[in-house]
Amino acid sequence: MQHWLTPSNFNKLALVVLALAATSILAACSPEHPQSTFGYGGPVARDQGDLFILIFWIAVAVFIVVEGAIIYAAIRYRRRDDKIPKQVHGNTKLEITWTVLPSIVIAAIAVPTIIGIWEQQRGAPTDMGDVLEVEAIGHRWWFEFRYPNQEVVTANEMHIPVGRPVNVQLASQDVIHSFWVPKLAGKIDMVPLNDNLLWFIAEEPGVYDGQCAEFCGIAHAHMRFRVIAHTEEGFQQWVAGMRTPPVAFESGSPEQQGQTLFATHCKTCHTDDSWRQDAYSLEIQQQDSRWATWLDDIENSRIVSAPNMTHYGDRLFLGAGIKENSRENLIKWINDPNDIKIGTSMQAHAAVYQERDDNKINLSSQEVENIADYLLGLVPGDIEQLAAPQITGGTPEERGEQLFVSIGCNACHSLDADTTIVGPSLIGIADRAGTRTSLSAEDYMRQSINDPAAFIVDGFTNSMVVPKLPASQVDDLIAYISTLK
Ligand code: HEC
Ligand code: HEC
Ligand SMILES: [Cu+2]
């Protein structure tokens, strides 16, 4: 039997493969492609694109002149007989020409290039609207975004207003990454201990694709992100939403059970409540301490720095931009992150995965669903509530009781003497408190809330996470928990 791959079949096959490859490579040049550098989303990308086009046409002209001269010479002076051609040495005119011409070409490329580099390095211009400051931090394998002036932290999805320059301070916590949103600006490396800067403006609202562009390890290709450009009003709304508590969950609902499970298994790495007052500096401090904990024991640490989960229900994507943030994908991710993305430090370090030999989650599928429902339920509550995080009226005990729930103390402390959630039950705390340390009962409770790490109750770990609270709220909480008998 004849083999199907005859030489002529092979040629046909090669042609088809080449044609397919060429089509897909050329398709990437289409400005409509989500990561095309030719689909200019703003002036920085346009300037850089124009520079590329200029250099491209200069290169085309050089190519035609040089290749034309070669072809002309090869034909015109080809060997016709055995006569040795006239031998010449040096030609001053020609040599000057081929030194001067390329110098002009290189100058024509260098001048606009250097101007472009200076403009980019000078930082965002101040005469094109209020500059938005963002700090972008690369982690293996996700992006953290901090807004120092708005005191907002988020991950993998950077929100910006259109028409305003955005100044992005680029940093990295571990290895070198690179920040690249092709439609908005060229890529710049994110280097540990070295602050780089990039700025851009988005002209139209929309979602712009970003990608880490520096090989940083096994999940480098899955280290993506999005820039979400809003109208000015939409951006202000997003910022306000990020500072607003989520809609409250009914007690006993799947979401509320998920919240408790999240507090137990996930919260050591993921903050889910940076909407609180003073949460911004606390999160930066915690992210640093998670990082330090990991550095301390790279192999066995149960804590690593991780994406902030505040209002996670509003996220479009999950796993650093690689899958749609649907309930189905989220459940898959929680069950076995490897199913969606290889090599996450979440799976390599979280106790709840390390407890099992196959590194899948050590929880029932119902529990996983509850956690997913909790995370997807994290969306800003009524913006009107912004004005009312302060609970007024009533006795200190009554205010304390409401705070206990609205701050989420109840996610970790049960009101039943026999049930331990994450922390000890607080029943009878007022009687016990005075015997814990040399502090008075009240001072001990105050210290427990203000500085949980100062004294760790026997049999528990230092995992109590609470925002810094105003003194009056701490007083109300103490008044309330003292009544728990
Ligand atoms: C040891 C620290 C750690 C623990 C504990 C942990 N995670 Fe993670 N988590 C991470 C890291 C790191 C990432 C980023 C992974 C990546 O994209 O490479 C992540 C990513 C995620 C994401 C995707 C976030 C995004 O913005 O794309 C979700 C959802 C998530 N974790 C849920 C959970 C849940 C639910 C739990 C508890 C069952 C949990 N995590 C426990 C470290 C942790
Ligand atoms: C994320 C879980 C978590 C949250 C939320 C939390 N705690 Fe705790 N809490 C703990 C843990 C764990 C301990 C024991 C370890 C320690 O002493 O720090 C503890 C200890 C305490 C103690 C000392 C208990 C004792 O028996 O000595 C008090 C008082 C306390 N918490 C009050 C609060 C109050 C009030 C809030 C809300 C503002 C709160 N906690 C929120 C986990 C939490
Ligand atoms: Cu990277």
Q: In this predicted structure, what is the pLDDT of residue 390?
A: 66
Predicted confidence at residue 306, as pLDDT, reads 96
pLDDT at 39: 84
Q: Report the percent of the chain where pLDDT is more than 90.
A: 65
Helix axes 92-121, 43-76, angle to 10 degrees: 170
Q: In terms of DSSP bridges, do strands 323-324 and 317-318 run parallel, antiparallel, or are they unpaired? A: antiparallel
Beta-strand pair 142-147/152-155 = antiparallel
Kindly give the distance from the C-alpha atom of residue 214 to the centroid of ligand 1, in angstroms, as a whole number: 22
Q: Which ligand neighbours the alpha carbon of 314 most closely?
A: 1
What pLDDT is attached to residue 441?
A: 92
Mean pLDDT is lowest, of 135-144, 216-225, 454-463, for 454-463
Task: Let me know: does 193 contact 201? Beta carbons within 8 Å.
Answer: no
pLDDT per position as a tens digit, 383-433: 444 333 567 788 999 999 988 887 778 877 888 888 887 789 999 999 999
pLDDT digit string (tens) for 274-318? 998 889 999 999 999 999 999 999 889 999 999 999 999 999 999
* pTM (two decimals): 0.71
**Beta strands in 140-281, from DSSP E residues, in sequence order:** 142-147, 152-155, 157-161, 166-172, 177-181, 185-190, 196-200, 206-212, 224-230
141 lines ligand 1 (CB under 6 A): yes
Ligand 2 atom showing the smallest separation from residue 457 Cα? 17
pLDDT for residue 386: 38
Domains and CATH numbers, the chain: 35-79+89-242 (2.60.40.420), 254-376 (2.60.40.420), 390-481 (1.10.760.10)
Per residue in 82-91, pLDDT (tens digit) is 888 888 898 9
Decide whether any atom of ligand 2 lies within 6 Å of the 465 Cβ.
Answer: yes
Cα 190 to ligand 2 centre (Å) = 38
pLDDT, tens digit, 9 for 90 and up, residues 39-52: 889 999 999 999 99
Q: Where are the beta strands (DSSP E) in 182-230?
A: 185-190, 196-200, 206-212, 224-230
Say yes or no: CB of residue 263 within 6 Å of ligand 1: no
d(CA 32, CA 28): 9
Q: What residues form DSSP beta bridges with 144?
A: 137, 155
Nearest-10 Cα torsion for 168, 309, 332, 317: -40
Pocket test for ligand 2, best of 256, 276, 464, 477 (most atoms within 8 A of CB): 464
Which two three-digit tokens encode residue 54?
A: 């200029």
The predicted model gives 173-179 an average pLDDT of 95
